């Protein structure tokens, strides 16, 4: 999106807000109270923990009441029976990530799902044992791949190959990722990248990466922690083997909220794909027969282990209902405008690390005056985050942020820098 010098005014931001078809969604969220500043809170940390939907306590309360009223029978008698509560999220989640309903399940937390997926899709042999990861991958992802390699008897120093941008560059070139996959060839077992890199905001092209990984005989799995609820995704059509994501960032499910998991349908009934199993993955019609032998549900739900935490599912449902109403397409359109506007207002003031192919998050590198800026932003009621030594991450979330929020944030940068 292009902006002109005239657009740097409060009037412009106000006009954009009044024309915004999604403007009322802001009212559906609780904004934190300001402790130190005189003005309102400016919340730009949706990439870390999304705001609470006002309806979340109501959705949770409904299940508390069902528990009080029915006790154990709430599993079947609650308005949303707990035994199938997670299914109320399946279609919304599948639409959100571009999957078939059968390919998606909400369960566990992100790192747990990543391990479960690697149990199935990282099956190294003496020759093919390497995992390709992105530069600056999130520490939990690094610990997960390292420990999987060790679990299979490999030295992570040999098994884990980390991509690196070219000298003097901050982000990866797509052609370099594809070349690396080519180079690793039949030693490569798994490509495991993020969706949007957590430290640069760079988005990766799943389609071409999956295609190239498959061409070389490797699996392709992705971590959508910074993509689900942020970007338009087509996991099924892009042929990715698996994907995992958390829901407490863009999807506003609350601290420690449940995670999503995608398994492409071609793997659901493949007897060569091993899996860790539990009773919640067992054929639903037969689950309570308590049979000795496991009979798979036959879709992504087969990867479920335990009966899920209903209160966490309830808070996620409160947010997913809003996403369904808003639609990802409209959110992405507004998200692009909001982030482009922020970039336009900040571009003279600091170095933007994030390339154009991105979601809503903008990563800013500020070496000089970063400590002063940190203090000022905090004292003026801006909530965002900072990653040592010099990266400020700010995200205007289209479901609750406004153009005026962006304008006010840029004003603070202007004053301090």
Ligand X SMILES: Cc1ncc(COP(=O)(O)O)c(C=O)c1O
Question: Phi first, then psi: what are they for 17, rounded to 5°?
Answer: -65, -40
C-beta of 255: minimal distance to ligand X in Å?
10
Spatial separation of the C-alpha atoms in residues 403 and 409, rounded to whole Å:
10
| Binding span for ligand X by CB under 6 A among 17-25, 61-69, 138-146, 271-279 | 138-146
C-beta of 138: minimal distance to ligand X in Å?
4
Nearer residue to ligand X within complex by CB, 49 or 412: 49
Nearer residue to ligand X within complex by CB, 160 or 345: 160
Residue 242 near residue 106, CB atoms below 8 Å: no
Spatial separation of the C-alpha atoms in residues 318 and 56, rounded to whole Å:
5
Contact positions with ligand X (CB under 6 A) in 235-294: 246
Q: Name beta bridge partners: 220.
A: 191
Spatial separation of the C-alpha atoms in residues 64 and 75, rounded to whole Å:
12
Q: Binding of ligand X at residue 140 (CB under 6 A)?
A: yes
For 184, the token pair is 């690793």
Spatial separation of the C-alpha atoms in residues 300 and 268, rounded to whole Å:
7
Contact code string over 113-132 relative to ligand X, x by CB under 6 A: --------------------
Q: Binding of ligand X at residue 194 (CB under 6 A)?
A: yes
C-beta of 153: minimal distance to ligand X in Å?
25
Spatial separation of the C-alpha atoms in residues 223 and 242, rounded to whole Å:
9
Q: Binding of ligand X at residue 379 (CB under 6 A)?
A: no
Q: SS3 sequence, 321-337?
A: HHHHHHCHHHHHHHHHH
Residue 305 near residue 258, CB atoms below 8 Å: no
For 72, the token pair is 């154990």
Q: Binding of ligand X at residue 78 (CB under 6 A)?
A: no
| Binding span for ligand X by CB under 6 A among 78-86, 135-143, 352-360, 373-381 | 135-143
Nearer residue to ligand X within complex by CB, 140 or 327: 140
Nearer residue to ligand X within complex by CB, 299 or 395: 395
Q: Binding of ligand X at residue 110 (CB under 6 A)?
A: yes
Q: Binding of ligand X at residue 223 (CB under 6 A)?
A: yes
Q: Binding of ligand X at residue 107 (CB under 6 A)?
A: no
Residue with tokens 């892009």: 238
3-state secondary structure of 344: helix
Residue with tokens 């990266």: 391
Q: Which of 25, 122, 138, 206 binds ligand X (CB under 6 A)?
A: 138
Q: Binding of ligand X at residue 222 (CB under 6 A)?
A: no
Q: Binding of ligand X at residue 146 (CB under 6 A)?
A: no
Judged by CB under 6 A, the number of residues near ligand X is 11
Residue 298 near residue 267, CB atoms below 8 Å: no
Question: Under the rule (CB under 6 A), what is the footprint of ligand X?
Answer: 109-111, 138, 140-141, 194, 198, 223, 225, 246
């Amino acid at each position: 999106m292009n902006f002109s010098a005239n657009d740097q005014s409060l009037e412009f931001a106000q006009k954009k807000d009044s024309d915004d078809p999604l403007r009322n969604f802001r009212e559906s969220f609780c904004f934190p109270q300001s402790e130190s500043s005189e003005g309102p809170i400016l919340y730009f940390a949706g990439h870390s923990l999304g705001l609470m939907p006002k309806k979340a306590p109501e959705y949770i309360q409904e299940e508390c009441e069902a528990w009080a009223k029915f006790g154990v029978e709430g599993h079947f008698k609650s308005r949303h029976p707990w035994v199938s509560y997670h299914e109320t999220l399946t279609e919304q989640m599948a639409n959100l990530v571009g999957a078939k309903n059968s390919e998606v399940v909400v369960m566990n937390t992100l790192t747990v799902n990543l391990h479960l997926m690697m149990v199935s899709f990282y099956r190294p042999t003496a020759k093919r044992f390497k995992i390709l990861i992105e530069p600056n991958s999130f520490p939990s992802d690094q610990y997960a791949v390292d420990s999987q390699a060790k679990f299979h008897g490999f030295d992570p120093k040999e098994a884990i190959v980390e991509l690196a941008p070219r000298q003097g560059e901050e982000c990866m070139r797509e052609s370099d990722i594809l070349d690396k996959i080519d180079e690793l060839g039949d030693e490569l077992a798994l490509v495991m990248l993020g969706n949007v890199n957590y430290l640069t905001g760079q988005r990766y092209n799943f389609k071409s990466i999956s295609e190239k990984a498959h061409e070389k005989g490797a699996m392709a799995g992705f971590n959508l922690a910074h993509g689900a609820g942020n970007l338009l995704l087509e996991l099924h059509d892009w042929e990715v083997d698996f994907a995992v994501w958390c829901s407490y960032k863009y999807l506003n499910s609350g601290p420690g909220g449940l995670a999503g998991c995608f398994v492409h349908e071609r793997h659901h009934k493949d007897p060569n794909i091993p899996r860790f199993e539990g009773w919640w993955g067992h054929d639903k019609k037969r689950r309570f027969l308590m049979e000795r032998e496991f009979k798979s549900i036959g879709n992504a739900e087969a990867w479920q282990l335990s009966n899920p935490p209903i209160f966490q599912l309830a808070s996620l449902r409160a947010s997913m209902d809003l996403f369904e109403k808003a639609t990802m397409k409209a959110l992405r359109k507004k998200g692009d405008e909001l982030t482009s506007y922020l970039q336009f207002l900040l571009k003279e003031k600091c170095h933007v690390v994030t390339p154009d192919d991105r979601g809503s998050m903008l990563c800013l590198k500020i070496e000089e005056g970063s400590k002063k800026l940190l203090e000022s932003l905090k004292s003026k009621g801006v909530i965002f985050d900072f990653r040592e030594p010099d990266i400020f991450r700010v995200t205007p979330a289209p479901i609750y942020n406004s153009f005026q929020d962006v304008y006010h944030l840029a004003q603070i940068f202007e004053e301090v820098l």
